[in-house]
Amino acid sequence: MSKTHRGRLIVVEGIEGSGKSTQATLLYEQLQENKIPSVLAREPGDTQTGETIRNALLHGEKILGMTELFLFSAARCEIIDKVIKPALGSGKIVVCDRFTASTLAYQGYGRGISLDHVSYITELSTQGLTPTLGFLLDISPEISFKRIKETTKDRIENEDLNFHHLVRQGYLDTAHSNPKLWTILDAEAPAHEIKTQIWDMVSIQLNIDNSY
């Protein structure tokens, strides 16, 4: 049985095709099975404004990297205000599919925007909110993009491999800079193995009886 927990923010990150959305969902389902109050969120999205921004970012016209930065940050302001903070305030665990590391990786490393500028805008959009635990599903773009069907690629997925290599490096640099927060996982491993690795870490963090 689970105990009463204070609200915590757990983020799952990775490039396209890494399996991060699958693992975020599996973690949320595991928390639910253990009767731990939890919420599954995704960036950008989960609010009316966020979903509108998501559609523009992924399926709209070509835009500047700086425009991406502001739009992702605006969507983050909304999801933090309407979804994440209320859930954390009521003691729930929030599992978030993407968070601030994505902005640093995609707009900082991928688009080449000054990391100082990215950090400043990110600080404004989050009001200092940071994750409790982060999981980076690491995989090479060459392998990950074999998982993505050509007909379903969005605007960012259609960027060339060099862009996605820069994004991957951004993620790795972020994770290596804060090993207490981040756990890097091999995204080429079977999904059930990754699920177990994540749950082992989360159950320790939340002091859950792991003999389920």
pTM of full prediction above 0.85: yes
State the total domains in the chain. Answer: 1
User: What do you get for the CA distance between the two ends of the chain, in Å?
Assistant: 9
Q: Which residues contact 193 (CB under 8 A, 6 or more apart)?
A: none
pLDDT of residue 206: 83
pLDDT of residue 146: 86
pLDDT of residue 151: 59
Q: Does residue 161 sit within a domain?
A: yes
Q: Does residue 1 sit within a domain?
A: no
Tokens of 47: 């609010």
- Mean pLDDT, 10 residues at a time, the chain of 212 residues: 69 96 98 96 96 94 96 97 97 97 98 97 94 97 84 85 97 97 98 98 81 41
Check which CATH number belongs to the domain holding 135 and give it. Answer: 3.40.50.300
189 lies in which domain range? 8-206
Q: Does residue 14 sit within a domain?
A: yes
Q: Does residue 3 sit within a domain?
A: no
Tokens of 113: 């925007």
Compute the radius of gyration of the chain from its Cα atoms: 17
Q: Residue 8 forms beta bridges with which residues?
A: 93
Q: Does residue 171 sit within a domain?
A: yes
Q: Does residue 123 sit within a domain?
A: yes
**CA dist., res. 57 & res. 14, Å (int):** 18
Q: Does residue 167 sit within a domain?
A: yes
Host H or E run for residue 44: none
Output the CA–CA distances (angstroms, integers) from residue 88 to 10, 44, 92, 95, 130, in the order listed: 11, 18, 5, 11, 12
DSSP string across 117-145:
HHHHHHHHHHTT---SEEEEEE--HHHHG
Q: Does residue 2 sit within a domain?
A: no
Q: Residue 95 forms beta bridges with which residues?
A: 10, 40
